[in-house]
Amino acid sequence: MRKNKITYLSAILLAAAVLTGCSRQTEPTRGGWAKGADLSWLSEMEHDGVKFYHVQSDNVQSTKEGDCLDILQELGMNSVRLRVWVNHSTQWSNIPDMLSLAHRAADKGLRLMIDIHYSDFFADPSHQTTPAAWAEYGFEEMCEAVRSHTVEVLQALRDEGIEPEWVQIGNETPNGILWPMGKVHQAEGNWEQYAAFTRIGYEAAKEVFPEITVIVHVDNAYERRDWFWEQMEAYGGKWDMIGLSHYPMMSAWNGGKSWQEMNDSAEVNIRRLIRGLHCPVMVAEIGTFANDTLSETVMADFVRRAAAIDSCMGIFYWEPEVYGGWRPAEYIPLGWDSYTMGAFTPDGQPSKVAEILFADPE
């Protein structure tokens, strides 16, 4: 096993980082407001026999079964986000599964965001597990793995004639990726390695799709993280757009703040990021509790705020299609409960939250 240290190659990579940080100036005209959803579980849900039904105007259960994509597109959804794991234990969220869903979205004229986790399972601030096949890699090999995996994912789409509009280099990465090699914590940790991974991912994405918008994504839209972006710039990280997650009703995660405080803080922070980094922002994940009238108020409030911000480019709901207690196969042996922030009713129709999210912003 090689030592995980900065080698001659990493020194070259750092020296070569002439353009760092956000490479695009903010774009105040919004003409592409994204009304999106992460639907990565959809193919597994369909495999399990879950049905989806069109909205019925009299608010009773509809008996008109349909394609979930069609149902949400009728409400105004114009974008889909799909995750990619390196080598998960099931067939879900691998490259073929992502391609299948991407084809369906592209055939319907939907815009596409690809979320590359660089892990075999969910990556988030508490979990950035290096893929098992990469576990023994040294730094140089890890850089090549990031490059080749990014190219493989995007080239698979290109070969099918599908052109994604956005790609995430990692998912919720305030603490880095590919732990322990790329692990960071605030201003400490392996910033040279982490920034190099994001830069290599950025350049690999542009190699396949020169016009693609590359996103670096962190959680907690409400939280001011100047240190993160300062370190990214200092060590040569590259991105075109900032991605944020926002779960305003999860007070247990967010220090006990009310949803009003969460939305207030998120709005202030989005404006600060756009102004301070001259960079557009995308709300890459949002979620509220299912079938809760308060959720309608929370979502309407946040959509109104975000849509009023020039260079805030849109909002993606995380897995709105989940309902009825469904959970993915890998959750069962882990003892995990089903996801409770979907945006479908128990009858399998889109909820009012989905209607609010996908309506044209005022």
pLDDT of residue 362: 72
pLDDT of residue 28: 40
pLDDT of residue 17: 46
Alpha helices by DSSP H, the chain: 8-16, 42-47, 68-75, 95-107, 139-159, 191-208, 226-234, 259-277, 293-307, 331-334, 352-358
Q: What angle do CA 288, 127, 119 make, to 5 degrees?
A: 105
Residue 250, Cβ density class (10 Å: 0-12 exposed, 13-18 middle, ≥19 buried): middle
pLDDT of residue 228: 97
- Model pTM? 0.92
pLDDT of residue 250: 74
Q: What angle do CA 106, 217, 73 make, to 5 degrees?
A: 30
Question: What class, spelled out in words, does domain 30-358 have in CATH?
Answer: alpha beta
Tell how strand 238-239 and strand 241-246 pair up: unpaired
Tens digits of pLDDT across the chain (362 residues) = 333 333 434 444 544 444 578 876 555 443 489 999 999 999 999 999 999 999 876 655 557 899 999 999 999 999 999 999 999 988 899 999 999 999 999 999 999 999 999 999 999 999 999 999 999 999 999 999 999 999 999 999 999 999 999 999 999 999 999 999 999 999 999 999 999 999 999 999 999 999 999 999 999 999 999 999 999 999 999 999 999 999 998 766 667 789 999 999 999 999 999 999 999 999 999 999 876 789 999 999 999 999 999 999 999 999 999 999 999 998 999 999 999 999 999 999 999 999 999 998 87
